[in-house]
Amino acid sequence: MSLESEFTNHFGAPPERVVRAPGRVNLIGEHTDYNGGFVLPMAIDREARIAARRRPDRRVRMVALDFGGAVSEFSLDAIEHVAEQTWSNYVRGVALFLQERGANLSGLDLVIQSNVPIGSGLSSSAALEVCAATTFQAFGGFSISQVETAQLCQKVENEFLGVQTGIMDQFISALAKAGHALLIDCRDLSYQHVPMPQGATVVVCDTTKRRGLVTSKYNTRRAECEEAARLMGVALLRDVSPTDLGRFETDMPPTVAKRARHVVAENARVLEAVAAMKQNNLPTFGTLMNQSHESLRNDYEVSCPELDTMVEIARQQPGCLGARLTGAGFGGCTVNLVADEHVAAFVANVAREYEARTGIRPPVYVCRPSAGASVAW
Ligand code: ADP
Ligand code: MG
C-alpha cells in the first residue's frame, strides 16, 4: 500500500503534504571530519518519506510503517525523550530543538516510511531527522536555512539521541543536488556541489558485519589525532600538509604518526578526487578510493576482515575502478566505482563471491546521486 493510502487508513483523511530526505554514502574523506577536514558524500536514491497533515491542536501523532505500524504521540508543550518507540525520539528531538530556536510549530499527524536500510551505514537516522525538520518547516511558522537544518539535526543526534556523529550525514541529506556529490569543509561548513563523473556508477556493498562496541576505538582515534595536532602545534590536523607531516613524523610516537599520516593524506586525496571528478578522470578517482582503503586499513587500522574481503572481491571484477570501506569502519559497507557497462555483472558476481567465502548473501545497492530534502508535494 502507498504511503498516502496508509496515511488515510490511519488518520481518516489524506495527507496534505509528503516530504522526502535521502540517505547518503561517503565517496572519500574518512575520519577527516573531526579533524576539521574535507568529506565528499553523495546523496543516494533511497530516502525517508513523511506524509503529514496539520492538526488543530498542539499534538504530534506518528506512525512508523517500517516498525510494524508502531505509533507514538507527544505534545509540543512537553517534549520528552522516551525509552520505548525509540524511533520517535528523532522526531521529538527535531521538534524540541526547532522550538528552542523560536519556531512556532503546528501539531501534525505523520506517517513515516523509508527505504534507507536501517543501521547499515547509509544514514537512515539523518534521513529521518532532516525529513522531520523539513516536514515541520513545510507547515510554516518559521524559516531556517538548509545549513542550519543540518546543524540542528546533528544536535538532535548528538544531544537528544546521545550518538556522537559529525555534521556530514545531515548536511548532505539537507543540501544535496541531483547528479552531484558534495565537497564539505568540516571546519567552516563551506561547501561545493561537484558533478558526478560520467560513465561510472556508485555501488554500495554491505558486509552485514555490524560495528558493535566501537565507541572506545573511535574515541581512541580521536584522542590520537588530537595528540598529533598538539605535537605539531596546530589546532586541527587539517592544518598540516603532507610536507609538514614529513618533518614531524619521526619525532612522534609511531602509532600517533600513523594516524596523522592517514588523516593528512586522506584530506589531500579528497581535493585530488574533486579535481579528478571535474576532469571526468575516472581512473584517478578510482585509484584515490583504493589508496583511501589502504590508508584506513594500514595506518588508521579501522578495517576488518569482512571489509577487506569485500574490497578484494570487488577489485577482481571487470570495470571496478576503485573500492574502499566507507563510514567509520570495523564493519558496515564498502563504496565502489564501477564502469556503467559492468554494473550488472559486478552486482551479481560480488554478491555470489562474498556469499561463497563467508556464507552471507550481502545486500548490494546501485546508487544514483540524488537531490537533498524537499517537499515532494
Ligand atoms: P543508520 O546508520 O542507518 O543511520 P542509526 O542507528 O544511526 O543507523 O539509526 C537507525 C535508527 O533511526 C533506527 O533504529 C530508528 O530509531 C531510526 N530510523 C531510521 N529509519 C527509520 C524509519 N524508517 N522509521 C522509523 N525510524 C527510523
Ligand atoms: Mg545514523
Nearest to 136 by CA among 19, 3, 2: 19
Q: Distance between CA 144 and CA 324 in Å, rounded?
A: 36
Q: Distance between CA 130 and CA 197 in Å, rounded?
A: 27
Q: Distance between CA 257 and CA 366 in Å, rounded?
A: 37
User: Quick one: cell of 221?
Assistant: 582515534
Nearest to 199 by CA among 337, 25, 43, 348: 337
Q: Distance between CA 364 and CA 245 in Å, rounded?
A: 38
Please report, for the chain, the start and end positions of each structural domain, with discontinuous segments joined by +.
3-193+371-375
Quote the strand ranges of the chain, DSSP E.
17-28, 38-54, 59-64, 70-75, 108-114, 180-185, 191-195, 200-206, 320-325, 333-339, 364-367, 374-375
- 119 Cβ closer than 6 Å to some ligand 1 atom: yes
Nearest to 124 by CA among 208, 30, 25: 25
Q: Distance between CA 276 and CA 296 in Å, rounded?
A: 21
Distances (CA, A) of 323 to 109, 299, 351: 43, 17, 15
Distance 119 CA to ligand 2 centre (A): 7
Amino acid at position 320, single letter: C
The vertex-52 CA angle with 46 and 56, nearest 5°, equals: 165
- 123 Cβ closer than 6 Å to some ligand 1 atom: yes
Residue 315 burial (10 A CB sphere; 0-12, 13-18, 19+): middle
Nearest to 31 by CA among 224, 310, 282: 224
3-state helix, strand, coil in the chain (%, to 5): 45, 25, 30
Q: Distance between CA 160 and CA 142 in Å, rounded?
A: 21
Nearest to 82 by CA among 58, 107, 60, 56: 60
Q: What is the DSSP letter of 159?
A: I
- 160 Cβ closer than 6 Å to some ligand 1 atom: no
* Residue from 118, 204, 209 to probe ligand 1 pocket by mutation (most atoms less than 8 Å from CB): 118
Which ligand ends up closest to the CA of 116? 1
Q: Distance between CA 150 and CA 159 in Å, rounded?
A: 14
Q: Write down the pLDDT at residue 141.
A: 83
* Residues 119 and 363 sit within 8 Å (Cβ to Cβ): no
pTM for the full model? 0.97
Residue 169 is among the residues annotated as catalytic for this protein: yes
Q: Write down the pLDDT at residue 195.
A: 98
* Residues 363 and 206 sit within 8 Å (Cβ to Cβ): yes
Q: Report CA 355 to chain centroid distance, whole Å.
A: 26
Which ligand ends up closest to the CA of 168? 2
Share of the chain above pLDDT 70, in %: 99
Q: Write down the pLDDT at residue 212.
A: 66
The values of phi and psi at residue 178, to 5°, are -55, 140
Q: What is the pLDDT along the chain (377 residues), one digit of tens a residue?
A: 899 999 999 999 999 999 999 999 999 999 999 999 999 999 999 999 999 999 999 999 999 999 999 999 999 999 999 999 999 999 999 999 999 999 999 999 999 999 999 999 899 999 999 999 999 999 988 999 999 999 999 999 999 999 888 899 999 999 999 999 999 999 999 999 999 999 999 999 999 998 765 678 888 999 999 999 999 999 999 999 999 999 998 999 999 999 999 999 999 999 999 999 999 999 999 999 999 999 999 999 999 999 999 999 999 999 999 999 999 999 999 999 999 999 999 999 999 999 999 999 999 999 999 999 999 99
User: Quick one: cell of 119?
Assistant: 543501521
| Bridge partner residues of 315 (DSSP) | none
- 124 Cβ closer than 6 Å to some ligand 1 atom: yes
Distance 126 CA to ligand 2 centre (A): 6
- 252 Cβ closer than 6 Å to some ligand 1 atom: no
Q: Which atom in ligand 1 lies closest to the alpha carbon of residue 87?
A: 16
Q: Tens digit of pLDDT for each residue in 337-375?
A: 999 999 999 999 999 999 999 999 999 999 999 999 999
Q: Which CATH number fits the domain 3-193+371-375, given the four candidates 3.50.50.60, 3.30.230.10, 1.20.58.760, 3.40.1410.10?
A: 3.30.230.10
Q: Distance between CA 238 and CA 50 in Å, rounded?
A: 38
Q: Distance between CA 35 and CA 266 in Å, rounded?
A: 11
Q: What is the DSSP letter of 83?
A: S
Exactly one of 109, 169, 206, 299 is catalytic; name it: 169
Distance 7 CA to ligand 2 centre (A): 26
- 114 Cβ closer than 6 Å to some ligand 1 atom: yes
125: CB partners within 8 A, 6+ apart: 90, 157, 161, 163, 169
Q: If you take atom 16 of ligand 1, which residue's CA is the nearest one?
A: 87
